[in-house]
Structure 1
Amino acid sequence: MRLIFIRHAQPDYSIDGLTEKGKKEAELLAKRTASWNVDRFYCSPLGRARDTAAPTLKVHNKEAVICDWLQEFHYRVVDPYTKDFRVPWDYFPEFFTTQPLMLDPDNWYDCDLYKTNPEIKKMWFEVCDGLDEILASYGYIRQGKYYKFKNPDGNDLPAEIDNIQTRGIMEYQVRDEDDNKTIVFFCHLGVECVMLAHLLSISPVTLWHGTFEAPSSVTIVNAEKRYHNDAFFRIQALGDTAHLYAENEPVSGFGAFSTVFSK
């Protein structure tokens, strides 16, 4: 199984839509996706995500399922330095790296700062539950911090015997012939990091501050099934913008605090 997360193209936040460059990025993205075999599309209810999805959906002659929990993770708190009321990331390193709970995979939302807005914890679980509900419909059932695969049609792959004779053989065998499906999410940088954090069992604060997925970028995550149909998700590509490079379209730096590489 494959999950593809697409950040909206370059935004015009004043109208919750796209800039002219963003519209071009969305068209180039659609050109890239034309050969994809997508089982389902999901989309944020916000305009900039819908506008990004529209050209791709037209190419595939499909509609997207709109999920409220895919909207940006914009549950605001007072920034401890600027005192601005803003989204819960983009803090100075001297702050977030010295707050142990912020980087705790299991308790990050209980740090003093995030507890000032109970919506943060509430929406973390809503996003995680929404994603897990979709995965469960494909047979991936959350078991603590990994997934157990059960084929929805009832015809499960046999669970290999876990012994020294089979372990070496099965370590690297691809086991996706049973559910080689691709689903695509059109969403936002903040909530994309939340979903990746859930899949990888890490704090989203690590991803909010340690990664940058450019507008219209593509993040590819593959499910890997192992012994006894246990599964985990591994990132193949993070924030890929090959469709922009192919057409000599510059990469937008919206959301970054550095000059982005655009060659």
Structure 2
Amino acid sequence: MKLVFVRHGEPDYENDSLTENGVEQARKTAERLKNEGISAVYSSPMGRAMKTAFFTAELLGLTVEPLDFMHEIDWDSHPWTTAFRLLTEKPEMMVGDGWRDSDYFRGDICLKYYDMIAQEFDRFLENFGLVRNGSLYEQTNHSEQTIALFAHGGSGAVMFSHLLNLSFPYVLTALPYGVCSVSILEFDAKIDGKVIPRLELFNDMNHLDNVKFEPLHFDK
């Protein structure tokens, strides 16, 4: 199974929608994805993600299926800034789960969202024959399906952190991705049905060559 992940287009945060430029980015992204063999389109229920997903679904003759748990996360302290401060002060937090108990993240509401998304994403993957077992997945049913998921900077970062077993602050700091960027994860069992998700492509924005880029930032 392959998962094509797309961050929403340039956002109009005030109206939870896309700017005119964001709409053009979404159209170009649909053209970029039309030959990926996508058979299902999923999206965060938020307006800016659903609107971005619409153009791909329309081009492919599909409908957008909302995944409520991929709603953008909430936070007390801006997690990208917090993560950078934590990792520059304590580089050892780049690995493992110690970041959860750090002064920067302990008690922050973003932890609630992290745990919810991680749990619900595993349940979602079970629909494709992938069952979480520790840090790996076990393939109970082989799937050749390619699906697309449109979401956000924060909920997507949780997804990458959980699937790739990378600390959340590390993903926030070292792996930022822009509007309408395309990333691809493959879930393929190599030995005894064990699956380690493989990141085949990350933050591909080449399809936006004639559309100005939003300065890389994340907001609610």
Residues 1:255 and 2:185 are matched in the alignment = no
Residues 1:131 and 2:95 are matched in the alignment = no
Counterpart amino acid of residue 211 in structure 2: E
Residues 1:146 and 2:140 are matched in the alignment = no
CA distance in 2, matches of 1:179, 1:144: 21
* Structure with higher helix content: 2
Which one of 101, 105, 120 corresponds to residue 110 of structure 1?
Answer: 101
Preserved CA contact (<8 Å) 1:109 1:120: no
Preserved CA contact (<8 Å) 1:101 1:110: no
CA distance in 2, matches of 1:94, 1:131: 28
CA distance in 2, matches of 1:150, 1:92: 36
1:40, distance to aligned residue in structure 2 (A): 2.2
Preserved CA contact (<8 Å) 1:57 1:64: yes
Q: Which residue of 2 aligns with 1:59?
A: 59
SS of aligned partner of 1:239: strand
CA distance in 1, matches of 2:126, 2:117: 14
CA distance in 2, matches of 1:18, 1:243: 18
1:233, distance to aligned residue in structure 2 (A): 0.7
Counterpart amino acid of residue 116 in structure 1: G
Q: Could you say if the C-alpha distance between residues 99 and 17 of structure 1 is closer, same or farther in structure 2, counting changes exceeding 3 Å? A: same
Unaligned runs of 5+ in 2: none
CA distance in 2, matches of 1:220, 1:92: 24
Q: Which moved more, 1:122-131 or 1:19-28?
A: 122-131
CA distance in 2, matches of 1:124, 1:92: 14
Please, what TM-score do these two structures have when normalized by structure 2?
Answer: 0.90
Deviations 1:109-160 (A, max 9, x none): 222222232x322221210111111211111111100111111xxxxxxxxx
Please, what TM-score do these two structures have when normalized by structure 1?
Answer: 0.76
SS of aligned partner of 2:187: strand
| Aligned alpha-carbon RMSD (Å) | 2.0
1:238, distance to aligned residue in structure 2 (A): 0.7
Preserved CA contact (<8 Å) 1:241 1:251: no
Alignment of 1:57-96 (within 5 A): 57-77=57-77, 87-91=78-82, 93-96=84-87
1:33, distance to aligned residue in structure 2 (A): 1.9
1:93, distance to aligned residue in structure 2 (A): 4.2
Q: Which residue of 2 aligns with 1:166?
A: none
CA distance in 2, matches of 1:198, 1:43: 18
Preserved CA contact (<8 Å) 1:97 1:103: no
1:94, distance to aligned residue in structure 2 (A): 5.0
Identity %: 29
Counterpart amino acid of residue 152 in structure 2: H
Residues 1:182 and 2:146 are matched in the alignment = yes
Q: Which residue of 2 aligns with 1:238?
A: 202
Indicate the structure (1 or 2) with the bigger Cα radius of gyration: 1
Deviations 1:81-112 (A, max 9, x none): xxxxxx32224845432246853432422222
Q: Could you say if the C-alpha distance between residues 23 and 107 of structure 1 is closer, same or farther in structure 2, counting changes exceeding 3 Å? A: same
SS of aligned partner of 2:79: coil
CA distance in 1, matches of 2:149, 2:217: 19
Q: Could you say if the C-alpha distance between residues 94 and 74 of structure 1 is closer, same or farther in structure 2, counting changes exceeding 3 Å? A: closer
CA distance in 2, matches of 1:244, 1:205: 28
Deviations 1:225-254 (A, max 9, x none): 121111111111111012212xx2233323
